[in-house]
Chain A
Amino acid sequence: MPRLVIAGLEACYGSLKVLDGIDLDVASGDVIGLIGPSGSGKSTILRSLVGLTPPTAGSVEIDGDNVDYKDAASVARLRDRLAIVFQQYNLFQNMSVLQNVMIAPTKIKKRPSAEVEEEARALLAKVGLGDKLDRYPDELSGGQQQRVAIARALALRPEILLLDEVTAALDPELVSEVLDTIRVLAREGMTMLIVSHEMGFIREVSREVVFMDAGRIVERGPPSRIFDAPTEPRTRDFVSKILRH
């Protein structure tokens, strides 16, 4: 059964329409890779889904519940189930690593602190940062910060994780530690929508790859087909360019 059903999604920045009729189904345990040239609207899809750039048309359903982006309560329910990790990590600079992971479950969800701390420690150990609990974000490398951001997102036990170019701001030698973390999540059956320029990685983890350009989905299919035998000229062009370097 599909978890997330997106139909006819549109989004605008001012008068500029940057998403034009996006349809996407994400089933439980699915990993979908979203690729496309810069400016094609990949980030905007994720931002629209979580209500940061509310859609101007179309519908979003999670497990049959229609999301009303004008209704704060509906958006709050949505954000209980969906988590997003950004390219720039966006950690809370005034909080330690452990506090970053604990704050939403304790202060926002009002869960007991002892229980949350145990979970947070386990999550941070899982992303390989069990020894950095008391560090502050500016004392960590980009790769470490990004893994904290992933742990922070997971601390709310989301059903679906949205990842927006989470390795794009990292030095090349730090990319693999973050990708390894995501691989583990994929193996555990986490439902994910992943935007990335790491084509090898997208090919490896995705069940389906979606190629978009200029606010529309141009082509979609299993990774082998999209990368080895794309049918649309724009996909072929993009894939050949990006695989060449």
Chain B
Amino acid sequence: MLDYTFQYGQIWPHLPRLLGGAVLSLELALLSFFGGLMLGTVGASILTFGGSAARKAVSAYVTFFTNTPQLVQIYFLYFALPDMGIILSSFTAVLLGMTLNAGAYLTEIQRAGFESRRQSEMEAAEVLGFSRGQQIRYVILPHVARVLFPPLSNQFILMTLGTSMAAVFGVEELTGQALNINSTTFRSLEIFSVTALIYIAITLMASALLAVAGSVLFRARMRIL
């Protein structure tokens, strides 16, 4: 048995700070996810339709960011860029690092979706006068959004949890706030158990919202899948 008396009373006053941190975590996750989604769309378009030099450049980007630890990537941005005269706040460095990292993973995920495009629909679009960009926008992306909705949702949840890494750089998101409060109250078990519960609440809510969004957006198609 754990010989420990939980004293949640001491940390209640700090709850607003934790919740404020949770909002920042969510902000970080949303911004880097949607930034990464756009990078991934461009990346997947280039891998599928680009010239060989452009394809190689995107492959190198994906290989680099999916084969090095995210922490190292952000350290690099945080410490190397100032040497080149680019000063980033820790929030910006983390956001940029997470976005670039997400862009690499989301390129890979979307490439699979691009590859599953229906060639016959592409030809029909081509003959109707669609440019390559219009084919991607009107034919491929809706298809990708539908078939990749579950893996993209998973990626978002993973990234939400991944934002806790920002604490290392002093960003006062949920984990960062937990560390702050811990250093003044020393009620570690209470603080981190509450923090964990907040993360669980966020991911459960996000999953539920995504599931509802998925069934609303793709209702007509879900029925036959």
Contacts and interface: CB of A to CB of B under 8 A. Distances in A.
A103 B138 contact: yes
B146 to A, nearest CB: 7
Contacts of B221: 93-94, 136, 138
A104 B121 contact: no
Contact of A156 (B126, B129, B139): B129
A141 B120 CA distance: 18
Which size bracket describes the interface of B in this complex?
20 to 34
A104 B129 contact: yes
Contact of A79 (B118, B128, B220, B224): B128
Contacts of A52: 123, 126-127
B124 A108 contact: no
Nearest to A156: B128
Interface in A81-102: 83-84, 86, 88, 90-95
A88 B121 CA distance: 10
A79 B127 contact: yes
A84 B124 CA distance: 8
Nearest to A153: B128
**Binding site secondary structure of chain B:** helix
B127 A92 contact: no
Interface residues of A, number: 28
Nearest to B129: A108
A104 B120 contact: no
Interface string A29-62: 0000000000000000000001110000000000
A165 B92 CA distance: 58
Interface in B119-140: 120-121, 123-130, 134, 138-139
B138 A93 contact: no
B150 interface: no
A80 interface: yes
